[in-house]
Structures are given as structure tokens and as C-alpha cells.
Amino acid sequence: MTMVRTPPPLLPVRDKTAPRALSPMLTRLAEERATGVLLREYGTLYLAEGRVVHAESPLAPGLDVLLTAHGTLATAAWQWAAARTAGPPQAAGLLLDSGLLPAGALELCHLDALYDAGYFALAPSGTPGRFRYDSTLRPGPLPSVPVVALERETLRRRLLLHRLWPDPAVDGTPLIRADPAASTPLTPRQRAVLDRVDGVRSAVEIARNLGRQAFHTLVDVRRLAAAGHVAPATAGCARPAPPSPPPVTDPDIALLKRLRDALEAL
């Protein structure tokens, strides 16, 4: 009698080229088209039908700051809308319906605030996230963002900061001026940041003072650190730092090279 040997099934192999989810819980919520609020250690993401409609973080200036800091919207107008609604997205919708704000300017500031807060909300954390289902959340008049797009942009930003200056110590502690070894020209944006370095303010506080996105301020701070213009204050003045991205260890070298070329073209 002839025996037929059936080969054992192959073990599953992870596709190394597949994108890695920064938050498996968020990925699962997107797949099930969940609606509600995801609370993480450094920020909060609001989902409607599996898409991100709003993001908040104590480490990022909110939509109100971005709209009012440079005269796009009067502070009184925002206060009027905020007093009549349940949160920033609803306040923005009321401003839009009332004709107090151009749709294009509002959408741009909304996406800037969403990606800025989302970057911090998706930072590495030692505390598990919690999701609260809330059927009252609905896609509003402002654009929503797919989870995969937010995660992709967050990863791009991590890589950019790492390339500019790999030491994250300057991100969250008060900053002091340093004497660069050589005089390097500064852009107006960098000069505005450096002018606010006083040994007390952190990068996040400087961003709020300038009415700018926190991530873009981190870019300026890391460039200033790389040029020797700023350094972290002494440990005695240190405050809790924003979460630092993990070291870049992605084995897909081709992907990293493509990302490098894209970042250098910015």
C-alpha cells in the first residue's frame, strides 16, 4: 500500500513591505467603520464611520489658535461660535454656515490642526488606548482623513525629525541659546523661534506663542539644534517631554531611500 505524505502547511510569513500600523486598535476601528472617541496618552482622535474627523492634543495648538493667531478669524468670532456649540468641529461648522470664515481657509486650518494633534496622539505610549463608542458623532462639513493617511503622515514626520537631528531632548524641555561653532544664516521662521528661546519655554510653548503648528516648530527647533543655536536647559529645569519617536529600524532600505529623496525635495 502506497502512503502519500502530505506536506505540512507553510507557516505564515509577514510581508516586510507592508506598512506597519502605528496603532493596531485604530486600524481595527477603521476596518469596522467605528464611530466614537479614541483616547490615547498624548491625544484624542475622533472617528466617524472609521475616518478621523478631528484630533486634539495638549502638545499641539488647537484649531482656535491657528485660526485667530494671525488674523484669519477674530477671537470674538471664535468665542461666539464656541459658546453655541459642543466642540471645535461644531464651532467651525457654525462659522462656515454663518459666512464668517472662507471655506478654503477653514479647511486648511482644520487639516493642519488634525495632522498636528494626530502626530502626538499616535506617539509611542506606555498606556493602552481606550475607545468610547459615540453614535452622535457624524461626518461634518470639514474634510475627514483616512486612518492610513494619518499614520503614513505621522511616520513621515518621525523620519523627518530623526534625519534633521536624532536627539529628541530638545522637543519637550525648556530651551536655551547656545553659541554655534560657525555662523549660519537663519530663515525668518527660525529667527522667530530663536527669539522666543528664553530658558523657560519649550518648543510646544513657543509654537503656541507663535500660533503655529507644534510639529513645524519642532522642525525649526531641531534644525536650530543641528546648527548649534539651541540646546536643552539643565535637568533641573526640565519638564515632561513630548513622546519621542522610536529609532528608525525599518528593514525596507528601498522604502527609506525613497522617503529620504522625498523629504530632501521638500
pLDDT tens digits for range 89-98 = 889 889 988 9
Collapsed DSSP state (helix, strand, coil) of residue 232: strand
pLDDT-derived band of residue 245, with 50, 70 and 90 as boundaries? Answer: low
- The pLDDT of residue 122: 96
Residue-level pLDDT at 168:
92
- pLDDT tops 60 at residue 217: yes
Q: What is the pLDDT of residue 88?
A: 87
- Kindly tell me the burial class for residue 243, based on how many C-beta atoms sit within 10 Å of its own C-beta (0-12, 13-18, 19 or more): buried
Q: How many helices (H) and strands (E) does the chain have?
A: 11, 7
Gap between the Cα atoms of 35 and 32, Å rounded: 9
Q: What percent of the chain has pLDDT over 90?
A: 61
User: What are the pLDDT digits (tens) for 139-178?
Assistant: 778 899 999 999 999 999 999 999 999 999 999 999 999 9
**pLDDT recorded at residue 86:** 83
